[in-house]
Amino acid sequence: MITKLSSKQSDFKDNLSKLLAWESVSNANVAKTVDDIIANIRSHGDKALVDYTNQFDRMNAHDMSELTIKLSALKEAFDTLGDKEKTALKTAADRVHSYHQKQKQETWTYTEDDGTMLGQKITPLDRVGLYVPGGKAAYPSSVLMNAIPAKVAGVEELIMVVPTPDSITNQLVLAAAYISGVDTVFTVGGAQAVAALAYGTQTIPKVDKIVGPGNIYVATAKRVVFGQVGIDMIAGPSEILIICDGKTNPDWIAMDLFSQAEHDEDAQSILLCPDADFIDQVEASIAKLLPTMERKEIIATALKDRGALILTKDMDEAVALSNQIAPEHLELSVEDPQAMLDGIKHAGAIFMGRHTCESLGDYCAGPNHVLPTSGTARFSSPLGVYDFQKKSSLIMVSDEGANVLGEIAATLADGEGLQAHAQSARYRIK
């Protein structure tokens, strides 16, 4: 059902490497299809976008007006929600907004003794495209997590694309768009939507950055258009890694493993624990609870193919292995998680304590749930306000400062054989 490993096994390193191996956009056929779609969108704009939408999403649209959702429809979606859903959505949005408000960067400067001023100007992006999965995978939480930081950053125009196969829209997704401040919604998806956002069409304006999750076609398209526009990341399957001291209810741990495994068959759920008896208890809990899950087939496949219960020598080794894996979600289900925190170097989000399950972070804790996957937490961070702001250096050299800096610059330019650079600097020397 789920692989059991021990760090003492002679082939442990090889088995762990195989378990962690993942490449999200390596399929050559997918890459060829995406290239063709992007080329067609660039050549034919709206017409190609409508054609692809009709083909892939089983729609019958004649033009882009039929694939555009008005703001009044977003408001109506929110207004017609039940009180419980309204409250949950608004509370989650408020918490996400409050957290991200603290990430906002401001312009700063300082002045040197000779009057030279240096600093950094912070400006928001003008226009951002938000990709939201549709159809069976409809995630209002993704709307909140992507749109709210952009609006906190000061992005003027936020364009959302969401596929609606068979013309089925998700009310919660539209309601989330309304309370998050999305400006325009188009019911298109796939690589064709990414291409439309990256290059623009007659109806969809070109954006500066594309954010949001999607399938392999979306991920591949984002990689292709990167450079034309910014992207948030190339996201792989969802991951959870749990470090447990063996004192948490094993049913809790099993369900936390399920919480990622139910996303899709490629999701990864791993437990690190130095207590062999507890690992057996978790295995028993998995067997007991799995038949009760609506998505049991998906969970079972994910656990079988990419899940693991790993016996470690001690908690220190568990921390070391966690840093090697660099998981998207890391649960520290231990007595004193703060004492362990200093040792954690690489993780997208760290959930501390037995009562802090990962799913709270997915929806309403406040921090962003868009996190680096596939080991990229070694060099990447969660999506944040800073992803929607850019920096410009500020340099204003005084007359006095030009004498000193001019001589330094000219000397270095001479050394590089760049005469015009040197002379330009020397012109400013008194």
Q: Which residues pair with 395 in a beta bridge?
A: 118
Residue 24's Cα: distance from chain center in Å?
14
Which residue among the candidates 239, 262, 263, 328 is catalytic per the annotation?
328
Q: Return the structure tokens found at 357.
A: 């399950």
Q: Is-contact 152 100, C-beta < 8 A?
A: yes
Q: Is-contact 122 158, C-beta < 8 A?
A: no
Question: Is 329 designated active site?
Answer: yes
Q: Is-contact 192 44, C-beta < 8 A?
A: no
* Cα→Cα distances 237→154, 193, 255, 269, Å: 30, 21, 18, 11
32, amino acid identity: K
Alpha carbons within 13 A on the beta-carbon side of 139: 20
Q: What angle do CA 199, 205, 206 make, to 5 degrees?
A: 35
Which residue among the candidates 97, 329, 346, 369 is catalytic per the annotation?
329
Question: Is 335 designated active site?
Answer: no
Number of other CB atoms surrounding residue 337 within 10 Å: 19
Residues with a known catalytic role: 328-329
